[in-house]
């Protein structure tokens, strides 16, 4: 699989495997199937409560550690002690370092968020983290990071799918060398039944999920679909044998409703 070069020089595959909402043997087997199918970037978070299940699956990988990209995230409850949280995640994932570590949500307290980001940079200095990133930030919050520390995060993971396409944020990230990662890339299946997606699936002789994932890839919005099902895991990565035309990309761009699934990142999670 091809990769992008993050600011700082680390390579990240152009597609990843998402691990949210699957636990125990289900996620352990699914990650093994994903590695077998060719995924090299595994996306999880301490909040998903499945890092201890993913660690044994990563142990089965026959290739070199450098071929994997393991990403985890710190919940705002860990912002006062990022090193402890990072070491805990790495230990549970059976890795010596994380390829990327993100602030999972901005939290409502700017001072605490910026201090947590400073700790994240210190973890990168120590070699525990290769690429520092954030998730669910606003443009203003990204700019505050830059103002305080002189550089933008390498990664911004955000909700993004045809029916929620935050173009202003994506343009901002792409202009400043911040890699966008699209979470809920198929809108938890809701976008697979939209008429233009079905129409293009027929035209390109690929599945609706493949059409949507291909749209992300052609926009350089790295998608991380989750599936626990072997055939859908394989289906989702089989998107490198066709290309959507400019007109069909534009058609999918018309599906944006401006409405996200997730809660308002400026208020969620409450209490932080
Ligand atoms: N940073 C954040 O705040 C944040 C928030 C949400 C998610 N994420 C990350 O983003 C990843 C992806 O998001 P998500 O898991 O919420 O949603 P998603 O990937 O858009 O959708 C997952 C759902 O789609 C189904 N599915 C997968 N492939 C399919 C296919 N080809 N055809 C039909 N159905 C298919 C899966 O069911 P089966 O398993 O049965 O196939 C599952 O129910 C997460 O796993 C997580 O790593 C990050």
Q: What are the extents of the domains in the chain?
A: 3-253
Query: CB neighbours of 9 closer than 8 A, spacing ≥ 6?
Result: none
pLDDT at 264: 86
Q: Is 70 exposed, middle or buried (0-12, 13-18, 19+ CB in 10 A)?
A: buried
Q: Is the CB of 183 under 6 A from ligand 1?
A: yes
Using a pLDDT cut of 70, give the percent of the chain over it. Answer: 100
Q: What span, in angstroms and rounded, lies between the C-alpha atoms of 47 and 66?
A: 25
The tokens for 259 are: 């409405």
Q: Please provide the average confidence, as pLDDT, over all residues in the chain.
A: 97
Q: Which CATH superfamily hosts domain 3-253?
A: NADP-dependent oxidoreductase domain (3.20.20.100)
How far apart CA 56 and CA 75 sit, in angstroms, is 23
The residue-averaged pLDDT of 232-261 equals: 98
Q: Which atom of ligand 1 is nearest to the CA of 45?
A: 47
* 3-class SS of residue 261: coil
Q: What is the pLDDT of residues 136-168, one digit of tens each?
A: 999 999 999 999 999 999 999 999 999 999 999
CA nearest 103: which of 75, 70, 122, 145? Answer: 75
| pTM, rounded to two decimals | 0.98
Residues with a known catalytic role? 48
Return the ligand 1 atom nearest residue 232 CA: 31
- With 0-12 / 13-18 / 19 or more C-beta atoms within 10 angstroms meaning exposed / middle / buried, residue 124 is buried
The region that residue 188 occupies, defined by phi over 0 for left and psi between -120 and 50 for alpha, beta otherwise, is left
Q: What is the pLDDT of residues 254-263, one digit of tens each?
A: 999 999 998 8
Probe target for ligand 1 pocket from 25, 37, 184, with the most ligand atoms within 8 Å of CB: 184
- For 18-46, how does the pLDDT look when each residue is reduced to its tens digit (9 = 90+)? 999 999 999 999 999 999 999 999 999 99
Closest residue by CA, ligand 1 atom 38: 227
Residue 21 Cα to ligand 1 midpoint, Å, equals 8
Tell me how many degrees the CA angle 17-19-20 measures, rounded to the nearest 5.
135
Task: Determine if ligand 1 sits within 6 Å of the CB of residue 43.
Answer: yes
Q: How many other CB atoms are found less than 10 A from the CB of residue 185?
A: 28
- Tell me, using a 6 A CB cutoff, whether residue 50 lines ligand 1: no
Whether residue 30 has its Cβ less than 6 Å from ligand 1:
no
Identify the weakest region by mean pLDDT among 89-93, 106-110, 200-204, 217-221: 106-110
What are the backbone dihedrals phi and psi of residue 220, each rounded to the nearest 5 degrees, phi first?
60, 35
């Amino acid at each position: 699989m091809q990769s992008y070069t993050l600011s700082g020089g680390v390579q990240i595959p152009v597609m990843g495997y998402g691990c949210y909402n699957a636990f125990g043997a289900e996620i352990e087997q699914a990650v093994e199937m994903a590695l077998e199918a060719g995924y090299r970037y595994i996306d999880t978070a301490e909040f998903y409560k499945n890092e201890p299940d993913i660690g044994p699956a990563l142990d089965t990988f026959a290739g070199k550690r450098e071929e994997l990209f393991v990403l985890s995230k710190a919940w705002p409850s860990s912002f006062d002690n990022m090193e402890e949280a990072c070491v805990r995640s790495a230990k549970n994932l059976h890795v010596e370092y994380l390829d990327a570590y993100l602030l999972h949500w901005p939290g409502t307290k700017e001072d605490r968020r910026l201090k947590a980001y400073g700790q994240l940079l210190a973890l990168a200095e120590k070699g525990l983290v290769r690429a520092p990133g954030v998730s669910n930030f606003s443009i203003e919050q990204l700019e505050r990071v830059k103002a305080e520390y002189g550089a933008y995060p390498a990664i911004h993971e955000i909700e993004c799918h045809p029916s929620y396409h935050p173009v202003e944020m994506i343009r901002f990230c792409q202009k400043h060398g911040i890699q966008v990662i699209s979470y809920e890339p198929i809108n938890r299946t809701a976008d697979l039944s939209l008429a233009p997606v079905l129409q293009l699936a027929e035209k390109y002789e690929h599945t609706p999920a493949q059409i949507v994932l291909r749209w992300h890839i052609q926009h350089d919005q790295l998608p991380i679909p989750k599936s626990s099902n072997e055939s859908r895991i394989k289906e989702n990565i089989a998107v490198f044998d066709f290309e959507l035309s400019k007109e069909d990309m534009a058609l999918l761009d018309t599906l944006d409703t401006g409405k996200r699934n997730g809660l308002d990142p400026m208020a969620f999670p409450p209490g932080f």
